[in-house]
Amino acid sequence: MHTIKQTMIFGFLLILSIGYSQTKQTHTYGVKDGEELKLDIYFPDNFDQNTSFPTIVWMHGGGFSGGSRDAPDETQLCQEITNRNYIAVSISYRLTRKGTKEGFGCDCPKEVKLETFQKASEDYLDAVQFLIRNRGKFKIDPEKVIAGGSSAGAEGILNAIFMKENWFDSKYEDVNFAGLISLAGAAVPEIKIDKINSIPAVFFHGAEDKTVPYETNPHHFCEKNKAGYLVLKGSRSIVEEYENLNQSYFLFTSLNGKHEWSGIPFEYLNQIFEFLRLTLEKKKFLTIEINID
């Protein structure tokens, strides 16, 4: 059963082509800890050197220990994005928990988790800064950059947006975002959400997610006596702050869902892009909540 709450009803009328032929470029945006960090840029078929395009910069999931920027789902998502006349970018970042004994669960100390989040956010912001500083070459509109990520990637982008000044002072003052897409993401409780950074936001989350909390709860639901006990603000808690600020959001909740909602919701892309079109291009105010059992 679907329950839908929204302040404005709209139709999802996008008619999309099926073909996936677009130009892809790979660039190195930084070197950290001896590792070249790369990003893939996908350009739409109608790419015009005289036009700047809105851009979605995607951060893959994988618990900061796995996943890749060019995995099949990430590749398909980038193809879907370019079909909608956006530039798509999928980035690599430091997988600081790869091969570690503690992983990223309850045995991973809180301080290490915070450092992991901060490094991932730094990598993400470095990638976006690289794109903005080369916007003439890549034809990216710096006023229309949308952050997106899944699971660990969603944690990376949410902290990058809402902890940017706290963690990095003015290092990324040239980096701003027009919107965000978070799939099963959460952020540290110290995030500051205000009228400026509460950009139109899309959240997908399972209410029974025991890995990344849907509300304000411990990461992995670790007990207080565990080294990895760290409270995070999930999608529902972030949306509550958006509601208080009277800002646009789209919250999709699977009431019985778990962490599988970190997967890319291809069947809902039309709804996501219509929300972005109306809020970013048409400057409409929208608050949408969709609940499924």
Say which residue the tokens 């590792």 belong to.
Answer: 35
Res 22: pLDDT: 58
- pLDDT tens for residues 8-20? 434 433 333 333 3
**Which uninterrupted H or E stretch holds 216?**
strand 216-218
Question: Residue 182: CB partners within 8 Å, gap ≥ 6?
Answer: 148, 149, 154, 157, 158, 201, 202, 203, 204, 235
Res 191: pLDDT: 97
The parts of the chain modelled with pLDDT lower than 70 are 1-22
Res 9: pLDDT: 36
Exposure string for 208-241, b = 16+ CB within 10 A, e = fewer:
ebebbbbbebbbbebeeebbbbbebbbbbbbbeb
The helix-helix angle for 152-162 and 110-133 (nearest 10°) equals 70
Q: 2-292, which class in CATH?
A: alpha beta
Rounded alpha-carbon distances, angstroms, from residue 99 to 36, 103, 121, 229: 18, 8, 20, 21
In this structure, what token pair is assigned to residue 231? Answer: 């409270």
Say which residue the tokens 């990461």 belong to.
Answer: 219
Res 19: pLDDT: 37
Helices (H), the chain: 72-83, 110-133, 135-138, 152-162, 164-168, 235-245, 269-276
Whether the CA torsion 109, 114, 119, 124 is positive or negative: it is positive
> What is this structure's pTM?
0.92
Res 74: pLDDT: 98
- pLDDT tens for residues 171-192? 999 999 999 999 999 999 999 9
